[in-house]
Amino acid sequence: MVTTYEVNGGTMATETRGEAAAKDEGKGRSPRKRTSPALFVRQVVAELRKVIWPTRRELITYTTVSLVFVLIMLAIVSGLDWLLQRGVFWVFG
């Protein structure tokens, strides 16, 4: 069954399944088997081989950028904290 809607001056069609198709959705499939721990480890190792690892230079650059960003944010938050503390002491004595 295809339903069309008016959306932002254009039409959008959405396809929906009939009730009979929705009822039969779970039939005909066998239950999934559990993955063994050995197969899981082999799959993890296979996925890790696909990863493009950064070079030493890239790793040092990324680490430096991250630390500098954290230090800048630390300075901003500390400065705002100090200003708010001064404001509270000024208002409440």
Backbone φ/ψ region at 53: left (φ over 0), alpha (ψ -120 to 50), beta:
beta
pLDDT per residue as tens digits for the range 62-84: 999 999 999 999 999 999 999 99
Please tell me the distance from the alpha carbon of residue 17 to that of residue 3, in angstroms, as a whole number.
11
Reported pTM: 0.49
CA atoms within 13 A on the CB side of 45: 6
pLDDT per residue as tens digits for the range 24-60: 555 666 777 888 999 999 999 999 999 999 999 999 9
Q: Which amino acid is present at 25?
A: E
Per the listing, tokens 């938050």 go with: 77
Above 80 in pLDDT, residue 21?
no
